[in-house]
A and B are shown apart, each in its own frame.
Chain A
Amino acid sequence: MSVAGIIRGARRLPLSGKIGLALVIFWIIVAVIGPFIAPYPPGSFANEEVFAGSSRQFWLGSDFLGRDVLSRLLSGARFTVGLSVVAVAIAASIGTGFALTAAVGPRWVDELLSRAMDTLISIPSKIFALVLVAAFGSSLVLLTLIIAITYVPGNFRIARSLAVGLARLDYVEVARARGEGRLHLALVEVLPNMIKPLFADIGLRFVFIVLLLSGLSFLGLGLQPPDADLGSLVRENTSGLAEGALAIIAPAVAIASLTVGVNLLIDAATQGKAH
C-alpha cells in the first residue's frame, strides 16, 4: 500500500477511527522521541515534595519519591509501547503461522497443534507468565518472549478457526487441484483473506499485553526499577491514590488512552469496506 493510499484510507475512517488514529500516532511519537524531550532523567529525585501537583517546572507533578512524573511517563511509554508491539508481533506470527500449518497440513498436524494449544490456553495467562518469570528471571528479552508465548494460544485459536474455514473454500480447492504447494495455499490463498479479523484480534491482544505487562510490573515481576513501564508507574504510586495524586492518574490515563486508541482505530479500520 502506498503512502497516498494510507492517507486516503485514513480520510475515509469514521470519527472514532480518526480519534483512535490520532491517539495511536501520538503514542508512537512519544515512544520514539519521549526520552529525548524528557525535562529530567527519569530516575533523578528532582522535586523535594512527593505527590506534588502540577506546576510550571513539573507539569505532571512528582511521584512518591519526588521524581518528575512527566519524565518518567515519557520514558515509560517507550517500554510499554515497544515491548507490547514486539510481543504481539511475535505472538501473532507464531500463532498465525501454526494456524496456517494446521489449516493446510495433514489432519494429524492440526490435531497435535490444537491439542497442544488447548493445553496451554487452559493455564491462566498470568500464572503461566508468573511461573516462567520466576523460573527464567525477567530480563527485557525474556519478559518479551514470555508475554509473547502467553498470547500465542489465543491468537492460534482465532486464526485457526478463520484459516480452516477459508481453506475449505472453493478457491483454495481450485489451487489445490492445480497442484499448488502448501506454502502457496497458506500464504497466497488463505492468509490475505484473514488479515482483517486477525488485526481486530491483534489489537485486542495488544491491549491485553499492555495490561499483563502492567500487572506483572505491579507484582514486581515486570520491568525492574529504575526502569518503569506505564503499569509500574501506576503501581509505584498507589499510595497516592487516596489523595488523587497526578502521579497515579497520569499513567493510568496514559494506559487508557493508548488501549482505547488502538481499539478505536482497529474497530474502524476493520469494519469499513476499504481493503
Chain B
Amino acid sequence: MEAQHVDVRNLCVTVRRPDGSDLRIVDEVSFTIARGEVLALIGESGSGKTTIALALMGYARSGAVISGDITVGDATLGGNGKASLAAQRGHRITYVAQSAAAAFNPSRRVIEQVIEPALIHGTATAAEARAHAVALFEALALPDPATIGSRYPHELSGGQLQRLMAAMALITRPDLVIFDEPTTALDVTTQVEVLQAFRKVVREQGATGVYVSHDLAVVAQMADQILVLNRGTVRERNAVRAVLETPADDYTKTLLAAARPVIKAAAPITAVGKPLLSIEGINAGYGPVDRNGRAAHPVLTDVSLQIGRGAAVGVIGESGSGKSTVARVVAGLLAPTAGTVSLDGQPLAASLKGRTREELRRIQIVFQNADVALNPAHSVGEILGRVLRFYHGTSGAALNSRVAELLDLIKLPAAIADRRCDELSGGQKQRVNLARALAAQPDVILCDEVTSALDTVVREAILELLAELRRDLGVAYLFISHDIATVKALCDEIVVLYKGTRVESGLRDTYAAPPFHPYTDLLISSVPELRTDWLSGVGSQGKVPFAHLPESADLCRFLPRCPVAIAGRCDVSLPPLRTMAAGNAVLCHRTEAELAGEFA
C-alpha cells in the first residue's frame, strides 16, 4: 500500500486531572487523508476536534501529552531523523482560526501579514509572494484583489478577514491546511460567500485539508470525508454523502437529527384580544441624543411588534441589525428616542428608573453568552436566591426549596445550587441563565441569542426546554436569533430586521414559501442544507443592480444588496408596507405577484 499523505495512527492525547489521575481526551484515533482531499472532523463541543487538529501540528495545550504516530508529508510527530511536525508549523502545515479579526495585527497592512509566512520560511521572494497573494485574493473572490492588500484590518469585514487568513495559510503552498471552525463566527449570508471562496481555492490549489466544525451542513459543502467524533473516540468515518444519507452510527444519527431543529409543539395561542407586550414605532440608538431627538448612532427606525400572552415571537437579522437593541429597549436598559413599549396596554417608562419593581419582574432578559451572563463570583443558589428574595421576598427554607424547584424545572440536579457557575458546562450555564429569569415568574422573557453559543445537540435540548416551559408556564418569548431555523423551531411569529428596520413580519408558516422580502429570501437561501451540492446552487441570483449606491435612510435600506431592485422605484422613494395574501407584511416596492414570481 502506498503511504498516505497524512497518516494518523493510535493518536491519544492525555491530560492530568486536578486530582492527579489521567484523562484521555483523544482516545486511539486513527485516520488517513489522501493528497488533495479534505477531511472533516465533526462532533459536539468537548469531542476533541480541535485537540486532534492541533496535534497534527505537533501542538498540545499546556499539560496535555500526545502519543501515537502522526505523519504529514515527510514529517513525523517525533521527528527522529526527519522533520518534526512542530517545525513545519506555519510553513508546510498551516492553520485558519475561528476569529481572523483577532489573528491580524491591526497596525500593519494585510498584504504584509499575508506574505509574511512565505518570507520567513524563504519559500518565495517578496515579489513572487505578492503575485501569489493577489492570485489567491482573486481565487477567494475578494473585491479589488490587486489593491485590497494595502488596507488595514479594521477596514475589512469579518468575512473578508477570514478569507485573507485563508490566503495567508495557503501562501506557502502547504502540505496540510487546518480550518478550525472558520465560519462559525460569521453571519449566514457572509458564511455562504466565504465557504464558496474556500472551496474554490482548496480545489484550485489542490490543497489537503482538515476542516473542523460542529455544523454538518457546512462540512457537507467542504469535505470529501467525514470523521465523526464523540468524547475523543471515532464513531464513524466515511465519505460525506454516505454519512449524510446512510449514517451507520447512532451518534451520527443524533447529530443529523439535531442539525435541523424540528418545530416544537406549542400551545395554541388563545385569546387574541389585547397583546401582552406591544412595541410601537421605536427609534433608538447609542450615543448622545441631539436636539431633533436623534441618537448619534441611530440603530432602530420605527420598529413595532406585538407579543400575545404565551406567544413566541422571533426576531432575526444579521449581526448589527439591532436585534439586541430591541431587547435592551424593551427591558428598559436603553431609552428609545421615540415610540413606546407597553405591557398589558399600560405604557412603560422609557428607562429603568421610571419602572416599578412589579413591571420589571414581569419582563426578564436572558443574554446570549452564559459565560458573562452569570456572575462567576456567586454560586448557582445565590444567583437564583437573589432574584427570589428581590421580587418575592422569599427567605429561609422556602428559598431553598424554591431554588430546588427551579433547578428541577430546568432539569438540573438540586446539588448544583452549591456550585459556582464557572464549574458548569455551556449547556448547564444556559439553563441556569434561564432559571434566573424564571425565578421572577415573568410574563415575558427576552431571549437574546440564547442558543447561538451552543452546539447543535445542546441547542436542540435547550429549544425543547423553552418550548416545554412555554407550554407549562404560559410564559411568552421574544426570541432573538440570527439563525432562521432556530427561530422557526420555536416561534409562531417571526419579524425580520435589516439594519434596524422591520422589513417583514408574519406567522411562521408564511416563511415556508414565497412571497417574501428579498432580504428574507437571502437569509433563507443562505442556510446551508444537508446535501453536498447545495453550495453550488446558491447565490446565482445574478448581479445586484445598485451595489454602487450608499445605504440611505430615505430609500429601502436593502437597496445596495438587493438583486431585484427596480430602477425608478427603489432608488427614488421609501418602499410601502404591503400585506400579502398569506398575512405577512413586507416592506418592499415589489408587489406580491412580483415577489412570488421572483423567488418561485
Contact = CB atoms under 8 A, between A and B. Distances in A.
Contact of A193 (B364, B365, B377, B387): B377
A174 B390 contact: no
B360 A179 contact: yes
B390 A179 contact: yes
B465 interface: no
Interface in B64-104: none
Interface string A173-209: 1101111100000001100110000000000000000
Contacts of A192: 375, 377-378
A177 B332 contact: yes
Interface stretch (B115-123, B366-374, B582-590): B366-374
Contacts of A177: 331-333, 352, 360, 364-365
B11 to A, nearest CB: 28
B357 A179 contact: yes
A193 B374 CA distance: 12
Question: Which of A173, A178, A189 has the most B CB atoms < 10 Å from its CB?
Answer: A178
A174 B440 contact: no
Interface string B374-387: 11111000000011
A48 interface: no
B473 to A, nearest CB: 19
Contact of A178 (B369, B373, B378, B440): B440
Contacts of A179: 352, 355, 357, 360-361, 390
B327 to A, nearest CB: 10
A169 interface: yes
B390 A170 contact: no
Given A171-B373, A174-B436, A193-B376, A180 B367 contact: no
Interface residues of B, number: 26
A89 B130 CA distance: 59
Interface in B314-367: 331-333, 352, 355, 357, 360-361, 364-365, 367
Contacts of B377: 192-193
A174 B377 CA distance: 15
Interface in B375-419: 375-378, 386-387, 390-391
Contacts of B391: 178
Contacts of A188: 378, 386
Contacts of A193: 375-377
A176 B391 CA distance: 13
B360 A178 contact: yes
Contact of A171 (B364, B374, B440): B374
Given A170-B367, A173-B367, A178 B387 contact: yes
Nearest to B375: A171
Contacts of B364: 177-178
B390 A180 contact: yes
B333 A176 contact: yes
Contacts of A170: 367, 369, 372-373
A171 B420 CA distance: 14
Question: Which of A177, A192, A275 has the most B CB atoms < 10 Å from its CB?
Answer: A177
Nearest to A192: B377
A129 to B, nearest CB: 35
Given A169-B372, A179-B390, A174 B357 contact: no
B405 to A, nearest CB: 20
Contacts of B378: 188, 192
A178 B359 CA distance: 10
The 5 closest A-B pairs by CB, nearest first: A192-B377, A170-B373, A170-B367, A179-B360, A171-B375
18 contacts: A169-B372, A170-B367, A171-B374, A171-B375, A173-B365, A173-B367, A176-B333, A176-B352, A177-B365, A178-B360, A178-B390, A178-B391, A179-B355, A179-B357, A180-B390, A188-B378, A193-B375, A193-B377
Given A171-B375, A177-B360, A179-B357, 9 more contacts: A171-B373, A173-B365, A174-B365, A178-B391, A179-B355, A179-B390, A188-B378, A189-B375, A193-B376
